Structure 1
Amino acid sequence: MAGGKRIGRRGLLAATAAVAVTAVLAPVAAVAAPAGPVGVNAADSREAAVVRALDRVAQPLRTTEPGGRTADLRALGTMIGDAKVVGLGEATHGSHEFFAMKHRLFRHLVEEKGFTTFALETSWTSGLLIDEYVQGGSGDARRIVKEALGGSPWEREEFADLISWMRDYNRSHPGRPLRFLGDDIGAPKLGDAVFERVAGYVRQARPDVLPALDGLYAGLRPLDDTIAYLGRPVAERRENAARAQQALDLVTASGTPGDDAYEWALQHARNIAQTFGFAALDLADPASVSAAEQLRDRAMADNTAWWQRRTGGKVLLSAHNGHAGYLATDTFMYPEPQGAHLRDAYGRDYVAIGFTFDRGSFLTNDEVLAGGWKTVTVPPATPDMNEYTLDRVRHRDYYVDLRSAPRVARDWLDVTRPTYDAGSVFINDPMPRLAVGRAYDVLIHLNEVHAARKL
């Protein structure tokens, strides 16, 4: 998810990124390469002990590319255990290796552990469109990605490859189909179809309340341009949020819990209310922006849990590190990420996996309203950063269970340090800071990443 140097502007940009998947990139200052060898001292000795400890427990990763043998993922499967939901983060929103690894791990979990849903930090309505395609709907994968994920960092070849594989899998496994979930609020494009799904149910189940529902949704549907919508007065947007909530209350009282058609209509109405509730934020008030982001993380967790319990399958949840984990680098904006909510809901049945990388390229968006995604490259991590020490482990790419790492490593991992962290925004002044050991259950570390591929 998505920058200025102070919280007010950071909050404004983070809110914009949430609804438009665009943001401002702070100028990337040159990051000094690691200094040459230094004398042995206490700090050097402690770091060497940490590296030795991680060397003992790190599991080498053969590749991040999907397809081929997956024997190197068996230990990761053991770390995941019987979890019903696995959150798989990404240190950036636009690196090939993170996206490819999500595809690779999902294939492994489908084939070895019976996972059935790939969930993405994208809108509920975009997820419905992709899900219909993987279930056998018309079109081709690249066109569906452009239509459903257009303008986002996921409008990339890597995601076209993923949903193409899911569709092919479903053709050969009709008895256990894979599903695609968008667990986020409806921005940037809620459209009209989801309103009609709600109205269609009420028209059949409770035609007597349809006029009231239509009256509440009048003026709300469709919502296709969230950036333009945010230009409306705050008071108007808050009134609309109240109307969307009233419509949700009306639908809630219009059916029988447990009935499949009712539950889906209710979830669609809930997503509409979540979207308008988020879009009622006051962009000039950092506290309002933070509250909206907190609503968003809660909504993503609730939507994921609803889907998992409704479908009964296991879910691989793809999101930024700061949403999939238990701790974000910006604790003002994200004091309780989606991962923390899911841990509260599932306990040990939720596992958070984070990513780190030492160097490489990713995509960011440096114009709020109309800019395209562009490539940014960062040099190797400096000695004060988490990644500097993590990259000294003997494996080029690896993963490690942070919960069972040796004590010396856990103590080091629990300290807050600068780290590479980029959603739609990359902030390098000051650098983001994170205690890796408190943020995730499992960590995947990659030596180098590259920008995701354009469609």
Structure 2
Amino acid sequence: MTRAVSASLDPEASLDDLEPLLDVIGDARVVGIGESTHHAAEFYRLRHRLLRFLTERCGFTAYVFEAPFTEAHVIDDWVRGGRGDVATISAAGTALGLGDHPEMHAHLTWMRRHNERAERPLRFVGALPVSTGSPLPALTEVERFLRRADPDALPLLTQAIEVAERCDVDSLRAFQLYAELDVSDRDAATAALSRLLARMECMAAHHRCEGRGREHAEATRHLRSAWHLDHFQRDLSGAGLSVGTAELDRYAAETVLDVLAAEPRIVFAMHNTHLRRTPVEHEGSFGLFPAGYHLAEALGDDYVAIAATSISGRAVEGLLTPDGLETQEVPLPPLEPDCIETAFTGDAQLTITTLGPEFGAYQKIRAEGGFMAAPIARAFNAIACVPITTT
């Protein structure tokens, strides 16, 4: 068992006490860093500190974050020296308020400073196909490409845009509006997106020969974002076959693997439920096949999942209402006998422990204001625990 203990969560503190993590990470090409709740200040600082360590000591060159792929491009441009102030850019490039916190602003500001002197810039990439439930931002990027490179395909895109515009609201109410559409309209949008995706993929070689290979690949990734989102909307409306966030998780895994084709090593930041290496085997969970499951299947030991949790504190829970997503702050419940948090004691500001057979009895980990059931020793490679979370 490898254990790293730190007296500080300060992202600017010395990284020397994190050196034991080198044994945890090894030669892994993708390291996932999770969180048991969104909007916790301590998890932002934890990820910031570990991103510094992995970048400065291990040569990681990309940060794939739980943000919408299309919108996150403005953050990638900013951390490479683009214009704008960090608060505005962070809010525009994320979703559900995840970019609204000063801890996230400090995170991105460090990336920008690092890139000013780095031989190889640290990229910021959004992992998800969705921001507020609308595919329009992604379809707008596809339209720009098609107008230049394949105008004959524009009628297919127009069909999809006409349906998307009817669900384009700035909240998760977009999913409810989609569910209220006529079945024929939903089917028309799905067919148009699928046919357009088939055309884009079969013409890849042509666009490469015409010198548009990079632009085509980027437009195809935007289109796949809209395609996955369309199926996710079907799932939520009860018209699909998958369960939970299966489509979002698959897209996130695809994004990581796409980035991995160009970058040597990646830090992958998402909620613990998405990072886990094992499938979900009970009802009422976030999805049957998390992104980490796909990555573990594709990469084996080259994927390391570090779940983050806390012994006590508070969490943020979301509730989907007719007006969108409402959030509330809740106290964390007392620890339960088989939750992994009971394995951590002491007053260290951060403890990271690798998992092995000796942790086989632990079957739960905190998730928002409750617990997520999972075979902890198989679902994650390591646990990062802080004493308290504040929202």
**1:400/1:384 CA distance change after superposition, 3 Å:** closer
Q: Residues 43-442 of structure 1: matches in 2 within 5 Å? A: 57-173=2-118, 175-188=119-132, 190=134, 192-207=136-151, 209-220=152-163, 222=165, 224-225=168-169, 227-228=173-174, 229-233=177-181, 235=183, 236-256=185-205, 259-284=213-238, 288=240, 290-291=242-243, 293-309=245-261, 311-327=262-278, 331-332=282-283, 333=285, 334-366=287-319, 368=321, 369-370=323-324, 372-378=326-332, 380-388=334-342, 390-392=343-345, 397-403=350-356, 410-411=357-358, 413-422=359-368, 426=369, 428=370, 431-442=371-382
How far apart are residue 134 of structure 1 and its match? 1.5
Gaps of 5+ in 1: 1-53, 404-409
Q: Is the Cα–Cα contact under 8 Å of residues 185 and 271 in structure 1 kept in the other structure?
A: yes
Higher-RCO chain (CA-CA 8 Å, sequence separation at least 6)? 1
Q: Is the Cα–Cα contact under 8 Å of residues 281 and 288 in structure 2 kept in the other structure?
A: yes
How far apart are residue 66 of structure 1 and its match? 0.4
Tell me the distance in 2 between the aligned counterparts of 1:238 and 1:213. 13
Q: Is the Cα–Cα contact under 8 Å of residues 65 and 97 in structure 1 kept in the other structure?
A: no
**1:384/1:266 CA distance change after superposition, 3 Å:** closer
Question: Residue type matched to 1:188 in 2?
Answer: T
**1:365/1:221 CA distance change after superposition, 3 Å:** closer
Greater strand percent: which structure? 2
Tell me the distance in 2 between the aligned counterparts of 1:350 and 1:58. 19
**1:232/1:82 CA distance change after superposition, 3 Å:** same
**1:401/1:79 CA distance change after superposition, 3 Å:** same
Q: Is the Cα–Cα contact under 8 Å of residues 321 and 328 in structure 1 kept in the other structure?
A: no
Q: Is the Cα–Cα contact under 8 Å of residues 199 and 213 in structure 1 kept in the other structure?
A: no
Q: Is the Cα–Cα contact under 8 Å of residues 87 and 325 in structure 1 kept in the other structure?
A: no
Deviations, residues 210-253 of structure 1 (Å, cap 9, x unaligned): 44444444414556325233343362324312211111112223
Q: CA RMSD in A?
A: 2.6
**What is the SS of the residue equivalent to 2:97?**
coil
Tell me the distance in 2 between the aligned counterparts of 1:239 and 1:129. 31
Number of corresponding residues: 377
Q: TM-score if structure 2 supplies the norm length?
A: 0.87
Tell me the distance in 1 between the aligned counterparts of 2:188 and 2:255. 24
Tell me the distance in 1 between the aligned counterparts of 2:252 and 2:292. 9
**1:221/1:442 CA distance change after superposition, 3 Å:** same
**1:59/1:255 CA distance change after superposition, 3 Å:** closer
Question: Residue type matched to 2:365 in 1?
Answer: T
**What is the SS of the residue equivalent to 2:61?**
strand
Q: TM-score if structure 1 supplies the norm length?
A: 0.75
Question: Residue type matched to 1:99 in 2?
Answer: Y
**What is the SS of the residue equivalent to 1:448?**
strand
Q: Is the Cα–Cα contact under 8 Å of residues 355 and 444 in structure 1 kept in the other structure?
A: yes
- 1:449 matched residue in structure 2: 389
Question: Residue type matched to 1:325 in 2?
Answer: R
**1:282/1:433 CA distance change after superposition, 3 Å:** closer
**1:322/1:234 CA distance change after superposition, 3 Å:** farther
How far apart are residue 319 of structure 1 and its match? 0.6
Deviations, residues 143-168 of structure 1 (Å, cap 9, x unaligned): 11222335334432211111121122
Gaps of 5+ in 2: none
How far apart are residue 70 of structure 1 and its match? 0.4
**1:241/1:210 CA distance change after superposition, 3 Å:** closer
